[in-house]
Amino acid sequence: MNDLEIKRLVRPMVREIAPYRSARDEFEDFGAQKIFMDANENPYNTDTNRYPDPLQRKLKRVLAKIKGVSDNQILLGNGSDEVLDLIFRTFCEPGHDEVILLPPTYGMYRVLAQLNSVKVVDVPLDESFELDLAAIMSSVNEKTKLIIVCSPNNPSGNAIPLLQIQSLLDQFSGLVVVDEAYVDFSEVGTSLDLLEKYPRLIICQTFSKAYGMAGIRLGIGFAHPTVIDFFNKIKPPYNVNVLTQIKALSVFNLTDVLERQVRELIGERKKMKEKLLSVGFVKKIYPSDANFLLVLVDDAKKRYDQFLEQGIVVRSRSSLLGCANTLRVTIGTPKENITFINACKTIDQL
């Protein structure tokens, strides 16, 4: 039943296409003591002279255990941006299907939709950046293939309650994508437990935020095994390189350090918020479940330039819906945060 439900949603071309089979698909035993004459590689060993495992089996085995899912429920991509792109290309028929986005939200969803000729239907979050479930459902039509929920949301920082995600899955018969790039900083937690019940749920996570590895470009998609099979069918064969796979495995030896860093960043977020409340040009600080704060100021352009003069780069989010005069500030190290608050006080005197 689940399989049929998923196959119904996949683009006909993706259902039918015969995938490219790389040399490393034909012979999968990477540890084997063989002479490899199948992939036209340079035979002289440099650690990187061989193509990577196209399905990143070793890494997935470890990740699956940690996340409490099966290996075949995982897709790895060149950042979650690649995972998101694969979702569009697997499910959305260009020029026909539609995606519902919930602005203000992460900008790549719109870019990827446009790149894939998928019409975007915007259903804005309310003034507290919460979902408007009724408005979402009244925007659904027979062409709506995806709804993308970012939780915790970038740029507002708030997490969407799991019950609302579940409610969306109960009411909408297409795919719900939950982008959990910042989930490690949130008490709301992950939607991973909903995967068993809802085969139309896809969850994105990333090594770029709490895991401290934005530079290796590694994103994760969690979904029903049939969905993952379709992704594997159309993804570039060697989309996650050898160095990334090795480096990603090393993160699991750092779990204690990372957990400590996340705890510290959450503590710093609270301190930053308290201190910012006494800064004159700060009008409001939005509740955050992420490693950043969205701050409403009197004049975002002026304050952005002043921060820059103080050697601090923040992100103006003023051009986004409902975000006029806002700056998004990433939580730094305790020392960086003290410097930031001191800069706020200096700017306040100018």
**Any contact of residue 288 with ligand PLP (CB under 6 A)?**
no
HSE (side-chain half, CA atoms, 13 Å) at 225: 5
**Any contact of residue 206 with ligand PLP (CB under 6 A)?**
yes
**Any contact of residue 219 with ligand PLP (CB under 6 A)?**
yes
What CA–CA distance (Å, rounded) separates 184 from 251?
15
Query: Which residue is nearest to ligand PLP, using beta carbons?
Result: 79
> Which member of 56, 208, 239, 245 binds ligand PLP (CB under 6 A)?
208
Residue 231 in tokens: 């992704």
Per CB under 6 A, contacts with ligand PLP among 75-134 are: 79-81, 106
What CA–CA distance (Å, rounded) separates 86 from 151?
20
Cβ at position 218, least distance to ligand PLP in Å:
7
Q: Which stretch binds ligand PLP (CB under 6 A): 39-47, 73-81, 249-257, 327-335?
A: 73-81
**Residue (80 or 90) nearer to ligand PLP, CB:** 80
Q: Which helix (H) or strand (E) holds 221?
A: strand 219-222
**Any contact of residue 214 with ligand PLP (CB under 6 A)?**
yes
Cβ at position 107, least distance to ligand PLP in Å:
9
Could you give the string, one character per residue 157-186, with x where binding to ligand PLP holds by CB under 6 A and - elsewhere?
----------------------x-x-----
**Residue (206 or 239) nearer to ligand PLP, CB:** 206
Cβ at position 156, least distance to ligand PLP in Å:
11
Cβ at position 154, least distance to ligand PLP in Å:
4
Number of helices and strands in the chain (H, E):
13, 11
The DSSP result for 225-273, as a single string, is HHHHHHHHHHS-TT-S-HHHHHHHHHGGG-HHHHHHHHHHHHHHHHHHH
Q: Which helix (H) or strand (E) holds 294?
A: strand 292-297
**Residue (190 or 208) nearer to ligand PLP, CB:** 208
Give me the residues paired with residue 205 across strands: 220
Cβ at position 180, least distance to ligand PLP in Å:
8
Cβ at position 289, least distance to ligand PLP in Å:
12
Q: Which stretch binds ligand PLP (CB under 6 A): 119-127, 165-173, 206-214, 294-302?
A: 206-214
Instruction: Yes or no: say if 227 and 86 are a contact pair by the CB < 8 Å rule.
Output: no
Instruction: Yes or no: say if 334 and 342 are a contact pair by the CB < 8 Å rule.
Output: no
Residues in the chain: 350
What CA–CA distance (Å, rounded) separates 288 from 186?
8
Number of residues interacting with ligand PLP: please give it, by CB under 6 A: 12
The Cα angle at residue 207 between residues 262 and 225, in degrees rounded to 5 = 120
Cβ at position 206, least distance to ligand PLP in Å:
3
Cβ at position 205, least distance to ligand PLP in Å:
8
**Residue (226 or 330) nearer to ligand PLP, CB:** 330
**Any contact of residue 154 with ligand PLP (CB under 6 A)?**
yes
Cβ at position 337, least distance to ligand PLP in Å:
20
Write the CB contacts of 104 (distance below 8 Å, at least 6 apart in sequence): 124, 125, 129, 153, 155, 156, 317, 320, 321, 322, 323
Residue 272 in tokens: 């930053």
**Any contact of residue 289 with ligand PLP (CB under 6 A)?**
no
Phi and psi, residue 325, nearest 5°: 60, 40
Q: Which residues bind ligand PLP (CB under 6 A)?
A: 79-81, 106, 150, 154, 179, 181, 206, 208, 214, 219
